[in-house]
Every structure is written in structure tokens, then in C-alpha cells.
Amino acid sequence: MPPRVLITETLASVAADWLVQHADVVRCAYDDAGLDGPLAEAEGLVVRTYTVVDEAFLDRAPKLKVVGRAGVGLDNIDLEACGRRGVRVVHTPDANTQAVVEYVLALMLDHYRPRTDLPPGADADTFHGLRKTEVGTQLDQLTLGIVGFGRIGKRLGGAAHAIGMNLKVCDLLPEAELRKAVDYPFDYAGHETLYAHSDVVSIHVDGRASNRHMLDAEALKHLRDDCLFINAARGMLVEGDALAGWARSHTDAQIILDVHDPEPPPTGYVLSGLPNVRLLPHIASRTGQAMENMSWVVRDVVAVLEGEEPGSPAV
């Protein structure tokens, strides 16, 4: 009998169809009341963002051998608990890098290069009025501060350098190691220096517990008054109340959040309704290619179930 693999969230059809050829596939949503039955028989599990694989979840999956996270971050999976039980965890660490980089660049251009379509039947005054008022700022006049210089941070830096932006970089790794990894110049800086001297700050750090609320009131006070702050990484990196207060007192700043804590944002979300805060529905990685790339985690799931070493193991 082929191994039983449970899918709890959406996968690209090409990868899901491939998995059907290699396993006995069962689909059941992570929040379905009938999940316990399929989970009890599952040897493999494929998840995305919202299936939380913790001790309690693993207690319901006694036959589980491998968890495949169709994505990059592993915040929703308790790696230590999986390790203790001998459950392998695999993911797709480079699947959405290009998608996120393009998205962040698009957000910067949205902000600095405003562009309004001519309305139907626009007269000469409207035409010339828009030409006078829609005067943007070139990105090559700006400094981009990248907090977290991993896969996404490095590729974002390369794209921004190609456009002509100045770069400041902050990371846990030593400067020499980071410089060996790229072929373009950047200023290596601490958090406070980066915040104070960057026109744009984009966050790209992981979801380890020590990074929770790394952008708190103390950190935010170092940002420039007219900063463009972008978080397309993880909602938990920013302390919401502190960011809302900073936004209210820095009306020349612009904040763009693609990720939130929690998700979806609740009714009465402290950052809703602020004129200089743009909220987006966690879509940085939502390109067809990136979603297909992430879905191919199924190859590593099958590899583990067939006794082979996976290409991208986390545990």
C-alpha cells in the first residue's frame, strides 16, 4: 500500500497531481471538525501557513513520519517537538524569494512614483493638473535599509543596487561573511544606525522567538520621520500598539504591512484606519510560480517516506 499523505491547505494542482501518483492522498482542511480521523492514519502531512503542528497536533498523528511545509518559514511548526518524535520536517526555503523581492520593489515604487490613470473624458486641465502634481522621487536618490540579510535580503539588495539605491544592511552574521556572499557594496550597520539613516526600511528576518516585537517603541523612535517602513516578513516582528502610536505621531511616514499578528487582522485592529498605514492581505509570495515552487515540497515528503534523504530538511 502507498503511504497515506494528508493535505490540509491548498497546493498547486501540478504538484498535488504528482503526489497522487506516489501516495494515498487525503485532503482535509486544518480547521475541519473531521480532521482527527485522517490525521490518525497519516504518515505524511503537507501544510502551508495556518496548520499549527505542535505537541497537541502531533499527539493526534501517531503514525506521522514527515511534515512538509509548502513555504519558507517554519513558524507554525514546533521543530523541537517533531525532532523528539522522530518526525522529519521539510520545506522550500528559496521558493518565493523572487516573488517577495519583486513585491517589495513594487511597494517602493507605489510610494515614490505615484501614478493616476486619466479618467474617461479627461479634459486638458485634468491632464496638465496630474502632470504637475504627480511628481515622484527616483529610487536612486534613496537609501534602503535591509534588516535581515538572508536569501530575500540579499536578492533585494542586488535588485536595489542595480536600480542605484544606496544600501545599509543589518544582520546577526558578521560583516565579512555577508560581504563574501554578494558582489555589490553595502554599509554594514547596527539597528539604530540603519533606522536613522535609511529612507526605506524593509524587514526580512526569521520568526525565532527572540525576534518577536524587535520593532518596539524603543526601536521605532530611531526611524526617520519620513521613513517608508515595509514589513513583508512576519507580523510578530512588530509591536502593533507601538507602531500605531508612531504612525500617529509621524504623519510624514508611510507604513506598509503585508503581514499581521494575528492573521487575519481582527475587528478593531489597532493599525486599521490610519491614513499613513497601508494594510495588505499577506500576498508577497502569491505568484503562480512561487506557489508552484512551494508546492513541490511534496517531492521531499515522498523522499522521506521512501527512506531517502530530502533535499531541504529542517529536522
Contact between 9 and 69 (Cβ < 8 Å) = no
The answer to whether 197 is a known catalytic residue is no
The answer to whether 4 is a known catalytic residue is no
Q: Which of 279, 310, 293 is nearest to 89 (CA)?
A: 310
Residue 118 neighbours by CB distance under 10 Å: 10
Residue 313, burial from CB neighbour count under 10 angstroms (0-12, 13-18, 19+):
middle
Of the residues 80, 175, 263, 306, only one is catalytic, namely 263
3-class DSSP state of 163: helix
3-class DSSP state of 133: helix
Q: Which of 195, 192, 232 is nearest to 108 (CA)?
A: 232
Of the residues 197, 222, 278, 282, only one is catalytic, namely 282
CA distance 205 to 227: 19
Of the residues 234, 250, 260, 299, only one is catalytic, namely 234
The answer to whether 151 is a known catalytic residue is no
3-class DSSP state of 255: strand
Query: Which residues are within 8 A (CB) of 209 and not within 5 positions of it... i.e. 6 or more apart?
Result: none
Task: List active site positions.
Answer: 234, 263, 282
